[in-house]
Amino acid sequence: MSLKLKPGVVWGDAYKALVQNCKENRFALPAINVAGTNSLNAVLEAAARNKSDVIVQLSNGGAQFFAGLSLADKHKAMVLGAVSAARHTALMAEEYGVCVVLNTDHANRKLIPWVRDLVRMSEQSIMQTGVPLYSSHMLDLSDEPIGDNLRACEDILPRMFKAGIALEMELGVTGGEEDGIGQDIDEVDNAKLYTQPEEVLAAYDRLSKLGTISIAAAFGNVHGVYAPGNVMLRPEILKASQALVQKTHNLAENPLDFVFHGGSGSDPTDIRAAIDYGVFKMNVDTDTQFAFAKGVEAYVEQHTSAFKYQLHPETGVPAKGIYDPRKWLREGEKSMVDRLNIAFQQLGSVGQSVAS
């Protein structure tokens, strides 16, 4: 019987079932960074339209923006913005009829307190309503020695697991920069762009017994869009890692849950291969940001005078109906939905929603 889940933010066993369903049926879900209700609603709209479930995520900067940039206490704004986004998502995902994996994106060493506070907010939420706020949180200690990386994950994972929250961790380095985290692709040691299967096995051995993990393994992927020729993807690294863990622990095919960072601008053949090797989540940020901007740009271009004068300079007609922010923000949303339609198609998730 095919999987059916209640629409809304998934967590605990429902999260695990949803991920397993993606892998078994060889498709992945796009993970889209949002920074406000405009981008968030556009993601839900696109998911509903494509009859797909979806992954929504907030970077630390996105969470702060959600709360408002004027708040003086940046840490508190990052926590409360993420809580606000979680409440909006939980309420609206049900209404749009889709299952949402809600995640926070890259958190390096100095952002661990942010993740800890969000786990604490989820624990409070469980006491009040029975459900956590987030499906998963990412820790990215990939620029530290692997021992330190794994120790930090071991520290937080049992508490997350108890609250029904999964951990996404990174091995190797995703090139490029995102929200102040990551490194310039020219400066990263090339070997670090390609995770070793032995490192993946070490992470699996130490972490999988403590909770639910997914792994962002580097296979040459980079954040952002670069000119062709700068990026050499090697998804066979994922295949070799799956095979090593499968063999060592005598498990079924594709035991690891892999995450693909830096999905913007990727070649469809590489995407297909990555999905075959157990990727259930592909991050798309750069391309959807650009799509939102293009939608607004086309509208402004078409109505230049309304963005300069409240009354039309020749006809005197009020331009209020044109410069109303709802008009041009909606154009950004629609353009973002168009780009997301492509992502759902590329990842094979169209029509695969498990929301009942």
Residue type, 218: A
Q: Taking CB positions, which residue lies at the least distance from Zn ion?
A: 261
Q: How far apart are CA 333 and CA 289, in angstroms?
A: 10
Contacting residues for 247 by C-beta, under 8 A, at least 6 apart:
none
Q: Provide, rounded to whole angstroms, the least separation between the CB of residue 265 and Zn ion.
A: 14
CA 243 to chain CA centroid, nearest Å: 26
Q: Which stretch binds Zn ion (CB under 5 A): 53-61, 144-152, 187-195, 261-269?
A: 261-269
Segment contacting Zn ion by CB under 5 A, of 58-66, 158-166, 185-193, 258-266: 258-266
Residue 168 phi, psi (nearest 5): -100, 125
Nearer to Zn ion, 8 or 278 (CB): 278
Of 119-138, binders to Zn ion (CB under 5 A) are none
Taking CB under 5 A as the binding criterion, the range among 14-22, 40-48, 70-78, 256-264 that sits at the site for Zn ion is: 256-264
Q: Are 138 and 104 in contact (CB under 8 A)?
A: yes
Give the residue with the Cβ less far from Zn ion, 77 or 222: 222
# chain residues binding Zn ion, by CB under 5 A: 1
Question: Would you give the DSSP letter of residue 91?
Answer: H
CB of 10 to Zn ion, least distance (A): 21
Report how far apart, in Å, the C-alpha atoms of 43 and of each of 143, 180, 273, 331 are: 31, 24, 25, 14
The minimum distance between CB 59 and Zn ion, in angstroms, equals 9
Nearer to Zn ion (CB atom), residue 282 or residue 336? 282
Three-state SS sequence of 105-143 = CCCCHHHHHHHHHHHHHHHHHHHHHCCCCCCEEEECCCC
Whether 73 is a known active-site residue: answer no
- Write down the catalytic residue from 13, 53, 73, 105: 105
Question: Residue 237: CA atoms inside 13 Å, Cβ hemisphere, count?
Answer: 27
What phi, psi does 260 have (nearest 5°)?
-110, 105
Task: Give the nearer residue to Zn ion in terms of CB position, either 137 or 261.
Answer: 261
Tell me the C-alpha distance between 137 and 105, whole Å. Answer: 7
Q: What is the CA radius of gyration of the chain?
A: 21
Taking each helix axis from N to C end, the angle separating 268-276 and 236-249, rounded to the nearest 10 degrees, works out to 0
Return the range that interacts with Zn ion (CB under 5 A); candidates 67-75, 117-125, 260-268, 326-334. 260-268
CA nearest to 108, candidates 144, 66, 160: 144
Q: Which is nearer to Zn ion, 196 or 286 (CB)?
A: 286
Residues 28 and 281: their CA atoms lie apart, in Å, by 5
Smallest distance, Zn ion to C-beta of residue 324, A: 35
- Report the nearest approach of Zn ion to the CB of residue 31 (Å): 9
> Cα dihedral sign for 158, 159, 164, 165?
negative
Query: Residue 270 CB, nearest distance to Zn ion (Å)?
Result: 16
Q: In 10 A of CB 247, how many CB atoms? A: 10
- Give the binding range for Zn ion (CB under 5 A) out of 15-23, 80-88, 114-122, 255-263: 255-263
The CB-of-185 to Zn ion minimum distance in angstroms stands at: 13
Closer residue to Zn ion, CB minimum distance, 239 or 261: 261
Helices marked H in 303-350: 320-323, 325-347
339 binds Zn ion (CB under 5 A): no
User: Toward Zn ion, which CB reaches closer, 23 or 261?
Assistant: 261
CA–CA separation, 148 vs 54, rounded Å? 32
| Residue from 88, 137, 239, 261 binding Zn ion (CB under 5 A) | 261
Contacts with Zn ion by CB under 5 A lie at: 261
Catalytic residue IDs: 105
